[in-house]
Amino acid sequence: MLSSHSVPFLIASFVLATSATSVVDIASYCKLLASKVGHVSYPGSSTYNDSISSYYSGQERQLHPGCVFSPTCAEDVSRFIKLINPGHGYGSYRGPQFALRSGGHMIWTGAANIQGGITVDMGSMNSLQLSEDRKIVSLGSGGIWSEIYPVLDKYNLTVMGGRVPGIGVGGFSTGGGISYLSRRQGWACENIYNYQLVDATGQILEVNERSYPDLWLALKGGSNNYGIVTRIEAPTWEIEGMWGGGLAFNYTPEILAANAKAFSSFMDPKNFDDSADMGMALVFQNPGQVYAVGGDLYYIKPVVNPPIYRPFTAIPSIANTLRLTNVTSLVTEASGSLPPGASRAIDLVFSFRNGDADFYSDLFKIWEDGTEALAHIENLQLVLLIQPQPVSTGKSSLGLPAGETDFVVTVLTAAYANAADDDTVQKGMEDIVVKQEDLCRQKGLYIPYQYLNYADRSQDPIASYGKAEKARLQAVSKKYDLNGFFQSALPGGFKVFP
């Protein structure tokens, strides 16, 4: 059975595929690009294979572009855009379609890869430059956060990036960004001073609050709708050390109840501690039909077992890696890859305001009941991850109020083995999330915001920013991308139109 939203998607991709092959000869565009700019690799080469095999999900690895373009500088990107965009009237683009990737960690089919088009892989543009006073770091958009942290750790500095190995600068910093510092500083994108952006005409713009304030704000949540980000400038943060690690618990009613109470207490504004970030997860695994509970605690000061975590650390655990440590070590410890034998993945995201312990117990119960329908799926790992949201500064396009400390972001993730199970898994997950969202609504806790970087293609994160934000994002697109080039030439990812 197809789920309701996969039908229009199939039709849409069929139409795109037919129109693309009938009008555009990708092979000749690749050849032209190779001769005018270079850095083009083809199926069968090791550069091409390395690019395709480095996507996080099997869905993205399964797409095969006609060629991969790996620019080494902003000028290469500019030449690429000028080559393919003749800049005619709105919606009249008839050139090749392309995908844009940095770390390749968005998981759904076509988010950052494309069948038969050109994939622009920013991976070679991974420079890191620290300003002389060490207060600002300049990062190529193809950089990988887990490779950036060890460089900065040496100076007792860090930057707001991803918390598992492999996440890229480009997608993370244009979609939001939850980092260890987010309870104090907000979303990572809210802290970026400058984006270097190649726009639809191939101009290289330095986009900051003074130069292009509207475009600067649009990039903070507007993902790939405005151009190709080639570099960012972000503040560094002094960090003396961290305390944190993981906790694993047996899955028993008492332990679930204790975790529900502990998370509710963590999120209670009267206990707010801006140094403390965390995630707690319920995990179901097949084979074995195993259930587990886990917690990851991240404190951005070298303080052992701070009071805010004590409701968790008091629960009897079966594994505990909590320690005084550093950013690099914590990120390395987090698993950055899908479980063995499970190359496919689906995420569904939603948000709510903190509730009482009973509310979390009900949320857990809905998840537990929902695992039954999926228990037979080969190599399934179904994880309900609940995390505090960054305390927004309001300086983004995410449509979130500033200063709210009790917002929670929840992501339901399935990893599994076979494409044949896609529709069953999607349906089973949607059943869980619909019920959980209903619970949030009943309790008056529901928040419409969907975090773009965790969202599935069946969701609409840009609409979730609110009508006014979406209208503003569309107006900025019309202003800086007169012909709608990034709407038609770059179909993947979340778009501001329609």
Ligand X SMILES: *[C@@H]1O[C@H](CO)[C@@H](O)[C@H](O)[C@H]1NC(C)=O
Ligand Y SMILES: Cc1cc2nc3c(=O)[nH]c(=O)nc-3n(C[C@H](O)[C@H](O)[C@H](O)COP(=O)(O)OP(=O)(O)OC[C@H]3O[C@@H](n4cnc5c(N)ncnc54)[C@H](O)[C@@H]3O)c2cc1C
Question: Minimum distance from CB of 434 to ligand X (Å)?
Answer: 39
Could you tell which of ligand X, ligand Y, none binds residue 299, using a CB distance below 5 to 8 A set by kind? Answer: none
Which of the ranges 77-85, 110-118, 149-157, 462-470 carries the binding residues for ligand X, by CB under 6 A?
Answer: 149-157
Q: By CB under 6 A, tell whether 240 contacts ligand X.
A: yes
Question: Minimum distance from CB of 44 to ligand X (Å)?
Answer: 5
**What are the φ/ψ torsions at residue 293 (nearest 5 degrees)?**
-125, 140
**What are the φ/ψ torsions at residue 417 (nearest 5 degrees)?**
-90, -40
**What are the φ/ψ torsions at residue 346 (nearest 5 degrees)?**
-135, 140
Question: Which residue in the set 122, 139, 300, 496 belongs to the binding site for ligand Y (CB under 6 A)?
Answer: 122
Question: Residue 334 is encoded by which pair of tokens?
Answer: 């987090």
Q: Which residue, 227, 181, 233, 225, is CA-closest to 77?
A: 227
Question: Which residue in the set 18, 49, 203, 337 belongs to the binding site for ligand X (CB under 6 A)?
Answer: 49
Q: By CB under 6 A, tell whether 141 contacts ligand Y.
A: yes
Cα distances (angstroms) measured from residue 124 to each of 108, 141, 411, 436? 23, 9, 31, 42
Residues paired with residue 293 on neighbouring β-strands, in sequence order: 249, 282
Question: Which residue in the set 8, 35, 44, 467 belongs to the binding site for ligand X (CB under 6 A)?
Answer: 44
Q: By CB under 6 A, tell whether 328 contacts ligand X.
A: yes
Alpha carbons 324 and 316: distance in angstroms, whole number: 20
The label of the residue with tokens 């939850």 reads: 178
What is the b/e burial string over 377-412, where b = at least 16 CB atoms within 10 angstroms of the residue's CB? bebbbbbbbbbbbbbbeebbbbbbeeebbbbbbbbb
CA atoms within 13 A on the CB side of 14: 6
* Residue whose CB is less far from ligand Y, 188 or 258: 188
Q: By CB under 6 A, tell whether 153 contacts ligand X.
A: yes
Q: By CB under 6 A, tell whether 326 contacts ligand X.
A: yes
* Residue whose CB is less far from ligand X, 127 or 332: 332
Q: By CB under 6 A, tell whether 154 contacts ligand X.
A: yes
* Residue whose CB is less far from ligand X, 154 or 210: 154
Question: Minimum distance from CB of 23 to ligand Y (Å)?
Answer: 23
Cα distances (angstroms) measured from residue 419 to each of 342, 377, 424? 10, 11, 10
Do 116 and 14 meet the contact criterion of CB atoms below 8 Å apart? no
Which of the ranges 40-48, 77-85, 130-138, 189-197 carries the binding residues for ligand X, by CB under 6 A?
Answer: 40-48
* Residue whose CB is less far from ligand X, 13 or 47: 47
Contact residues: ligand Y, CB under 6 A: 56, 100-107, 111-112, 122, 141, 162-164, 167-168, 170-172, 174-178, 223-224, 228-229, 336, 453-454, 492-493
